Chains A and B, each alone.
Chain A
Amino acid sequence: MRVVVADDVLLTRQGIVRLLRDAGIEVVAEAEDAQGLLHQVRLARPDVALVDIRMPPTHTDEGLVAAQTIRAQHPQVGVLVLSQYVEPSYAMRLLQDQPERVGYLLKERVFDIATVVDALRRIVDGETVIDPTIVSRLVGRRRRQDPLAVLSEREREVLGLIAEGLSNRAIAARLYVTERTVEAHVTQIFQKLRLPESPDQHRRVLAVLAFLRA
């Protein structure tokens, strides 16, 4: 797998690159700002770009903007955004236009290299990745009348995994059940929550996130 890494802090960038190489991932280029990143992506045509959300000049959402540009200009290149912010709206912004091959992970996960490598693989496979912290905050959000009360414990678990961007097959593997069982759960969940069931596994992530936020 060929990856481009963009982070303006040299120390962090070097750490990430080293961990990725140790895990057997080919880092083909590094960039320290959004402009350099777009240049490297054009040049190296990586499978995934690993992008810090805060980059010069304003240190707010340059990485997010760059990610959207990459997705629009190079649909075959996936983007994994690393962020300091537990901000569902940022994650949803990333999903809005091209809901596949994108990921939003909290920055501190980067040193749990197994998680990062797993996320990169899922993105290359065409899945979506949303950080579990964001999902659990949305699921655990205090509500006056909890619409999730109609779901069983298992269904709630499945809902969370859908929101994290897992495919039915991945959910089945995670829960040690058959894919067919997962499909049945998904149908049940969407019916109970009165969500229009989408055959598109990418779009359903956004639908579930939006539902959890409403």
Chain B
Amino acid sequence: MTPTLLQRVNLARLAAGPVALAVALGALAVAQGPGRFTTYAGRSALAATLTITAGLALVLAGLVTSLNRPAGQIGDLAVLAGLIWFAPVWVGWDKGPPLVRSLGMLTAGFAFPLLLHLVLAYPSGRLHGAVTRALVFMVYLEAVLAAVGLALFRKPFFDPNCWANCSDNDFLVRSLPQLARAIEVADRWFTAAAAAALVALCAWRLLRDSGPARRTLLPVALPTFLLAGAIIGHTAALQRTPLEDPAQPAFQTMFVVACVAVMLLAAGLVWVTVRMRVQRRAVARITASLGQAPPPGSLQAALAQAVGDPELRISYWLPNSEHYVDAEGRPVAESTAAPGRAVTTLIRDGRRIAVVSHTAALPDLEHAIGAAVRLALENERLQAEALAQLDQLRASRVRIVETGDAERRRLERDLHDGAQQRLLALSYDLRLARAQAQADDDRQTGSLLSEATGQAQAALRELRELAHGIYPAVLAEAGLGPALATLADMAPLPVEILAEAEGRYPTTVETCAYRLVTEALDDAAGRDASHGTVSVARDGGRLVVTVQDDGSDRTGAMVQLADWVGALEGRLTVEPTRLQAELPCG
């Protein structure tokens, strides 16, 4: 929409107020005077009051709505419907200007299509779904066809059922009483059917939508049910009594119900608009309530509370890795619009910062979120980005440790399957050769071969120790308990295992605990400890490994151990003769 057009639209809206007032006062004058017997409003003071109040209320509600939400057409629809609401009164201006009465007849049929459009486009101003769009289109089309048809071919004078205006139609081209009658009946039934469809669509939306969206829809949907009931009831009454008579209780009742429904609809529109305004103020204020350093996610909570939508979700855009994360930095799927849910992309300085998934009952979030909230969002986005990077860093540390462990295991297997098998084959050959030498009684060769066999045996022993040092097979196969027991068998100092946690733990945790104990005992031996104690205990979700010795005070910081433990997000406590690691183990 160009600015000039926007200005024109706003001027028209401002003008709508006085115009509506004039139209209403004129209608009141008609109803009190010449239209006393040809309008519902003329039947009683109550009927006049209801007519004028309902129409003006609709115009007022439309103005309030459109001034508050410049994007939506809802308000404009309500203003138009409110103006047309007075048309039947002007039609009943007995002996009034024929053009006014003719125009009144031409436009009166559009009040219902406008209201139907309003309700179905509510609250966003847009029509969603093919069925809805088709219904609105068909209702408008039918109203145009009926209005034009009646204007061209209905001469009121020949209509046996005419009551409000039995004389004037300025647009008449040719009088075709039967066609006019058929159009009238068809129009009535079509409108009744459309009213029923409107009820069905509203009911379906009420059932489908959750909390906040339903709360927004209800104030408009309930009066709609009432209005549709009045329309259907009016059609049924006319079917029984073709001549419409405002004096009859059935017609009077339907008229009162329709007036009340329109007033309630107007009140509902105003109420929701006011509530949204309050919510928008709350949204604009949320930064004030957050304080200096809000924890991640508080913005989402505050926004959700401000708009009354507990399912509201903020996802932050990370331009470098091109995906969305939540406030904690965890990757999340891109938000998509769903029935009753809308997605608003928030931009700051031309860059996308966040996407908010929220109830469709608050369509104008983008304008409601001001500069201060955007700054807070940008802050939280940066925080989320840092947290996401931290997560990646953590994952890569764990991967490094895991890769290292896997490499050691592979090395251990290669030693067993490669070098050891060859050494075994070698000692086998040496023994055969020695047996041959002995058989040949070659003592010198025999003793050389004996010595070589001994060397091969020694190499096998060393290889076995080396492989065990690189990665003890028992750790992978039987777990921490048996591996620590073997470690105690071989340790360079007396080792007592005070407690061992039963069961198996993640491989990284077992390996880390084992290496921690190995390193700690080697370190203790280096500080002339006479003995050490090892205890492994499970404490909730953590495996607590403690190694205590009686050597001299430790001077090193055990940096590598701290790295291993840190990679698993554990905590290492280094004291002069005591090491303790707490490893998360699920």
Contacts and interface: CB of A to CB of B under 8 A. Distances in A.
Interface of A: 9, 11-12, 15, 19, 54, 59-61, 84-90, 93, 106-108, 110-111, 113, 137-138, 141-144, 213
B489 A84 contact: no
A12 B429 CA distance: 11
Contact of B486 (A15, A61, A87): A87
A54 to B, nearest CB: 7
Interface string B520-533: 00000000001100
A137 B489 contact: yes
Nearest to B413: A59
B474 A85 contact: yes
Contact of A213 (B420, B477, B489, B493): B489
A143 B428 CA distance: 37
A89 B478 contact: yes
Given A60-B477, A142-B494, A143-B494, A84 B416 contact: yes
Interface class of chain B by DSSP? helix
Contact of B467 (A9, A84, A106, A142): A84
Given A89-B478, A111-B428, A138-B489, A60 B531 contact: no
Given A108-B457, A142-B493, A213-B489, A84 B420 contact: yes
B427 interface: yes
The list of the 6 closest CB pairs from A to B, nearest first, reads A89-B482, A60-B477, A144-B494, A142-B494, A15-B428, A144-B531
B486 A88 contact: yes
B425 interface: yes
B322 interface: no
B425 A15 contact: yes
Contacts of B531: 144
A7 B492 CA distance: 34
B145 interface: no
Given A60-B477, A108-B460, A89 B424 contact: no
Nearest to B532: A144
A107 B415 CA distance: 14
B550 to A, nearest CB: 10
Given A12-B428, A84-B473, 11 more contacts: A9-B417, A12-B421, A54-B416, A60-B476, A84-B467, A85-B473, A87-B474, A108-B424, A137-B489, A142-B492, A142-B493
Which interface class (under 10, 10 to 19, 20 to 34, 35 or more) fits B?
Answer: 35 or more
Interface in B341-359: none
B491 interface: yes
Interface string B426-447: 0110010000000000000000
Given A60-B477, A144-B530, A89 B486 contact: yes
Contacts of B428: 12, 15, 19, 111
Interface in B70-111: none
B285 interface: no
B542 interface: no
B464 interface: yes
A14 to B, nearest CB: 9
A89 B420 contact: no
Nearest to B457: A108
15 contacts: A12-B428, A15-B424, A59-B417, A84-B464, A85-B474, A86-B486, A87-B482, A88-B485, A89-B478, A89-B486, A90-B478, A93-B478, A111-B424, A144-B530, A213-B489
